[in-house]
Structure formats: C-alpha cells, structure tokens
Amino acid sequence: MCNLYRLQKPADEVAAFFGTILGDLRVAPGNVAAEVYPGYPGLVLAQGVLQSMVWGFPLALTGAKGQPLKPKPVNNARTDKLRGPFWMASFRDRRCLIPVSGFAEAEGPKGGKTRTWVSLPGGSWPDQPLMAIAGLWRPTAEWGHAYSMVMTEACVATRGLHERMPVILKPQDWATYLGPDPAPAYQLCQPYDGALTVTRTDEPWAARR
C-alpha cells in the first residue's frame, strides 16, 4: 500500500504537465507540502481544477465506551473493493488524478525501517519526472474534499516491496479515466507495465518533514 509520497513540482508546473493532454486547467489556491502523508493536504486534478484536498476518506471510529474518536484517513482504495459501498459512488462519479514525483514503501527491520522510493526513470533523485496516479474523491463533513489512491497488484519492479502498488496512468489514458463512464476507467486500473526506478535510501521511515 502507499502511505507516503512526494510531489517536488510547484502547482503551475503540475498544471502544465496535465494541460498538455487535457487542455487549460484552473489552479485553485491552497498550500501542500512536498511530502504527503495520510490526513495531509495534497494536490489533486478533479473536475478540471488542480486543487488541494485531504489525503484519505474519513472513517468514523468509536472508543470502547462508544465515544466518538478522531476519524481515520483511509487513503488507499483497492481495486477489488471499488464496487463496495465505501468506494463505489466515488469511483463511479468522482475520479481524479494525483500528481506524484515518487511514492515510498518501508523496508528493513522493525524499528529501523527506511524509505524506498518508486518513480519514473529520468531526472536525479528527488527531482523525478511527474506521474499521474488514479484517484477518487468526495466531499466530507469532517475535512472538506478528500481523496484516495487506487491500488492494484504490484508490478515486476515493485513486487519485492509490497504486494500492491498505486495505479500509474499513462498520459494517453488520462481522459478515459476522467471520463463519464466508469467501466473503461476500471479497466485501466492495472499493474504498471512501463519502466520504474526503485531508489533505496537511509531516510528513516517515520521521520516526517
């Protein structure tokens, strides 16, 4: 699964990246960090607008005595769960693209895990080429607009890191994924078949920046 990713490019550069395929886009004001964690704001392309949303759908929790607890952000939507009640309406009606420079998985022993980054080839780490991750979003009472990443089975390059990975969409598939029909969008949610770069680092997994 994915619980950390980076976006190293400014919003205007991200808009230009998407705009070459999808046409002119509007950029809504909002601040996001270069490293995005569940519950943090990140950039999302939805309804023709590049905008900030919170990463993770809020899941209501209750304590042992039935008291309400702080909602948990559910930031990964597995392809085999997209037709379930938690995700179905959002995937049908509110698909989005998530711009990412690279996503991370944890490797190493308990207490000593480090970050291993997955990105498209090219550039020098951490300034990697942008890629578009399949996402879905919805309005929430708790956090405003929130989004989640669509996860599929791991590809050859990432199989040693985790059994699942985010759905990476190629530029020629963006318009289909964002289009009105969810059926062809669902068919695009496959393991990535292009080249990927895996970068192992000594960055502590738990160190937030």
- Over residues 185-202, the pLDDT tens digits come to 999 999 999 999 999 999
pLDDT at 206: 83
User: Which of the two residues, 165 and 125, has the higher pLDDT score?
Assistant: 165
For the chain, what are the domain ranges?
5-204
Task: Report residue 77 as tokens.
Answer: 């939507």
Q: Residue 139: pLDDT above 70?
A: yes
- DSSP letters spanning 133-184: EEEEEEEETTTEEEEEEEEEE--TTTTTT-SEEE-EEPGGGHHHHHSS-HHH
pLDDT band at 92 (very low <50, low <70, confident <90, very high): very high
User: CA–CA distance from 85 to each of 55, 79, 82, 113, 115 (Å)?
Assistant: 19, 13, 8, 34, 33
- Name the CATH topology of 5-204: hypothetical protein yedk fold (3.90.1680)
Q: How does DSSP classify residue 127? A: B
pLDDT at 26: 75
pLDDT at 63: 67
- Quick one: which H or E segment has residue 15? helix 11-22
Distance CA 23, CA 108 (A): 43
- Over residues 97-126, the pLDDT tens digits come to 999 999 999 999 988 999 999 999 987 776
pLDDT at 205: 92
